Amino acid sequence: MDGEMTSRARALKGREEGRPGPITQLVRRLAGLDGGPSSGVVGAGDDLMAAVRRTITWRLTKELEKRNQWFASPRYLGLIGWESWWESDAGRIGTSALDELVVDVFSHLFVDKLPDLASRLRAPGNSGGVPNVDGLAVRLMCNFIHDRQQKNDRLGARVYRVLKAAVRRAIEHDLLEVQEGDSEVNASTLLAPVAGSKGSRITAEQLRHWVAQWNARLLPELVTGFGPQSKVLHAELRFCLAELAGELRSFLFGDLVRELVLDVRGRWADLYSSDGDEESEEGGEERPEFPWFRILAANDAITEADHLRKLLDCVTDCLGKLDHPPERLRHLQALWGFLLRFTADEIRERVPGGRKLGPALGIPRRHLTSLYATLGELVNQCRAVLAGEKPEDSEDG
């Protein structure tokens, strides 16, 4: 560990003096820009490769800590079969989940993004100084982790984003202030009431009690809310944070968001636990199938991410234009929001049964079948529009 710290200190000193770091040096070698005999060639045992690996590992560890992912399951970043980031398994390609992530990021930087990084080094503006793409590489790494989380942990990413926005508004309105850490607010940011902090910091265990009370009021909008529902959610969160500020004690944003995400995950996981909810309450029919459900995981004919996003945006826009009673519109938005925010995380053959899903979304169970039908019609209409076809008229159009 001391050796790694010394290496990082040397790297930082080199950047301060204008020397390119290991990542820039490797880009130059792979792109054939260094002019040496080894230009374009690199080996696994190369000292430069080892330095690049240390740099990426250190940066990823910091980014995972910043995003409150270091103590979360690696599966939320798409790494399956690991219990933790530091668990070792000599029988796998990577000896740990972190090693696998380092390999993925290495491939992203030096395969996918190598042309962009090399072109930046070749740019005319670099001819007068020491070309350096280390900063750009760090940004690409952060974007890579962000995209992985958005794809594999939509629920956690949603809660993190909403809570962070609420905390930043609370800071702007002089309810909370940053006592230590990043003013942009991340896991290491220590927050305190503007009125002052007395006593010890609120622990994660104590925050668990608070978020359990909050989620009784915040769900389902914390997960499903969009459009007009967002305003109500923001108001509720401001009230929750005001309650916490009333304790006149500091707390870590990372502790708060972790406990909030864990509580939300637990509550929503209950929707999929078996409780015999396989039949409707009257006819003995199975709960309704959702034949177009897999579009949310891009598993049907729609494989282009841009096309899929346009489809989902189209359905969302259409929901806002329906001429339905306010209560039915709220039910449609809640159900659609649920499908977008939660069930897209994992491919499932069926949505949860109405006995659990209805109360969780505040929707009478008897209305779910017609709501599914309306959403299905909207999806078909939007698919036709995106395919350049004229959609069939619908009573909900």
> pLDDT tens, 19-30?
789 999 999 888
Please list, in sequence order, all residues whose beta carbon lies within 8 angstroms of the beta carbon of residue 116, skipping any fewer than 6 positions away. Answer: none
Q: Measure the CA angle with vertex 94, ends 25 and 7; round to 5°.
A: 40
Whether residue 186 contacts residue 254, with contact meaning beta carbons closer than 8 Å, is answered with yes
Low-confidence stretches of the chain (pLDDT beneath 70)? 1-18, 35-45, 89-94, 124-130, 226-229, 269, 271-308, 341-351, 389-397
Whether residue 343 contacts residue 296, with contact meaning beta carbons closer than 8 Å, is answered with yes
pLDDT at 13: 46
Angle between the 22-30 and 47-66 helix axes, to the nearest 10 degrees? 130
> What Å distances lie between residue 183 and 6, 174, 188, 190, CA to CA?
28, 14, 10, 9
User: Which two three-digit tokens encode residue 65?
Assistant: 């800590």
| β-bridge mates for residue 116, sequence order | none
Q: 333 in helix, strand or coil?
A: helix
E-strand ranges in the chain read: 176-180, 190-193, 251-252
> What Å distances lie between residue 21 and 166, 198, 298, CA to CA?
38, 45, 39
Burial 334-358 (b: 16+ CB within 10 A, else e): bbbbbbbbbbbbeeeeebbbbbbbb
Domain boundaries, the chain: 2-152, 156-272, 293-386
| β-bridge mates for residue 286, sequence order | 279
Whether residue 77 contacts residue 101, with contact meaning beta carbons closer than 8 Å, is answered with yes
Q: Are strands 176-180 and 190-193 parallel, antiparallel or unpaired?
A: antiparallel
Residue 325 φ then ψ, to 5°: -60, 150
Residue with the two structure tokens 């958005």: 150
Angle between the 47-66 and 134-152 helix axes, to the nearest 10 degrees? 50
pLDDT at 389: 59
User: Which two three-digit tokens encode residue 148?
Assistant: 């992985």
DSSP annotation of 156 = H
The whole-angstrom separation of Cα 311 and Cα 112 is 27
Neighbours of 284 (CB within 10 A): 8
The whole-angstrom separation of Cα 116 and Cα 98 is 25
The whole-angstrom separation of Cα 351 and Cα 277 is 11
> pLDDT tens, 304-317?
455 667 777 888 88
Q: 367 in helix, strand or coil?
A: helix
Burial 28-51 (b: 16+ CB within 10 A, else e): bbbbebeeeeeeeeeeeeeeebeb
Whether residue 67 contacts residue 186, with contact meaning beta carbons closer than 8 Å, is answered with yes
